[in-house]
């Protein structure tokens, strides 16, 4: 059985369409776990009313919004306790096409060394979301940031993002895929553990990819498994202070805790992220309100040491 976890936050209309697309297109054994992440609207009531009589749809309410990882972990634990041998984590703004879930699940079952699988993600304009990338290192991270990205040093950024890949064939590799729709085998989860709840939003897929590689679990892109990503507005604009806070902080957390960059390297990446935030705070109040918290959070990461992630495992599925 494949457990499908959908995290909802103020997007119950999108979530309904996502669930309906699964019901219409999936033919393998599955169970859907919709976790409402303490939405301040009537999302939980609406979803409960809509799917109350569906035996394979479970609606759960979290009474705190602990972010992406914490919310998904609620659904993951439930699915594991129900005997799922694969966990598909999907945004509420994803629409599944015919046999997409079947193809992803089959890949997991047929390839024991594959721990992570992702579909081809189509955008509303008809394009393909370029989501395949190598795991982060100090160098490929800093050369993906402005202004260093414009230097095109040794073609690092293009190589890191698989710039020449056409997304028309399957790909087995060590690296990460988009977190908007990603499947993990239970075997992989048993090795890498649940999602890291120390970050609220962004870069969760980078941690998954890094942990998978350290445990010799491959990532697979399945070109025949197609989904549509509608890009909902549940987390707001990418240029909002909230979004930048978590995007910058989460990237620094990943580099410090998992990649294991030293203090000098951390100082450089810290400044690359901190200076734009500080400049925005000069002219925008929303940034000023978060500047103190952002500063403290980033400085605390100097005390973080690289974690030993091999065979981290899950101590208790029902915890």
pLDDT of residue 238: 72
Tens of pLDDT along the chain (319 residues)? 999 999 999 999 999 999 999 999 999 999 999 999 999 999 999 999 999 999 999 999 999 999 999 999 999 999 999 999 999 999 999 999 999 999 999 999 999 999 999 999 999 998 999 989 999 999 999 988 888 787 888 888 888 999 889 999 999 999 999 999 999 999 999 999 999 999 999 999 999 999 999 999 999 999 999 999 997 555 556 789 999 999 999 999 999 999 999 999 999 999 999 999 999 999 999 999 999 999 999 999 999 988 765 555 555 444 4
Distance between CA 103 and CA 119 in Å, rounded? 9
**Which pLDDT value is given to residue 317?**
41
For residue 305, the model assigns a pLDDT of: 86
- What does the block give as tokens for 306? 């690289």
* CATH number of the 2-132+167-229 domain: 3.90.550.10
Provide the β-strand partners of residue 3.
31, 87
Long-range contacts of 302-308 (CB under 8 A, 24+ apart): 302/263, 302/266, 304/253, 304/256, 304/257, 305/257, 306/256, 306/257, 306/258, 306/259, 306/260, 307/257, 307/258
Domain with CATH 3.90.550.10 in the chain: 2-132+167-229
Tokens of 316: 């208790």
């Amino acid at each position: 059985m494949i457990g499908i976890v959908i995290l909802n936050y103020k997007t119950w209309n999108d979530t309904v369409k996502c669930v309906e697309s699964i019901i219409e297109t999936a033919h393998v054994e599955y169970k859907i776990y919709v976790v409402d992440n303490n939405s301040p609207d009537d999302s939980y009531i609406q979803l409960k009313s809509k799917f109350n009589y569906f035996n394979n749809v479970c609606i759960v309410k979290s009474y705190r919004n602990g972010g992406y990882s914490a919310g998904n972990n609620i659904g993951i634990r439930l699915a594991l306790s129900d005997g799922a041998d694969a966990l598909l984590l999907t945004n509420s703004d994803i629409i599944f096409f015919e046999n997409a879930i079947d193809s992803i699940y089959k890949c997991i079952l047929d390839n024991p060394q594959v721990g992570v699988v992702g579909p081809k993600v189509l955008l509303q304009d008809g394009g393909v979301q370029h989501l395949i990338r190598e795991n982060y290192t100090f160098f490929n991270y800093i050369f993906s940031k402005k202004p260093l990205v414009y230097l095109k040093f040794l073609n690092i950024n293009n190589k890191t993002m698989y710039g020449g890949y056409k997304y028309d064939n399957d790909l087995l590799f060590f690296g990460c895929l988009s977190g908007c729709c990603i499947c993990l085998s239970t075997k992989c989860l048993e090795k890498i553990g649940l999602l890291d709840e120390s970050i609220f939003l962004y870069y969760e897929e980078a941690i998954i990819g890094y942990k998978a590689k350290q445990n010799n679990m491959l990532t697979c892109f399945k070109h025949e498994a197609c989904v549509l990503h509608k890009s909902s507005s549940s987390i707001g604009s990418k240029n909002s202070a909230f979004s930048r806070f978590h995007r910058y902080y989460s990237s620094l957390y990943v580099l410090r805790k998992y990649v294991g960059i030293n203090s000098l390297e951390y100082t450089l990446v810290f400044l690359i992220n901190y200076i734009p935030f500080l400049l925005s705070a000069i002219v925008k109040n929303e940034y000023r309100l978060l500047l103190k918290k952002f500063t403290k959070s980033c400085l605390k990461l100097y005390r973080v040491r690289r974690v030993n992630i091999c065979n981290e495992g899950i101590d208790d599925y029902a915890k």
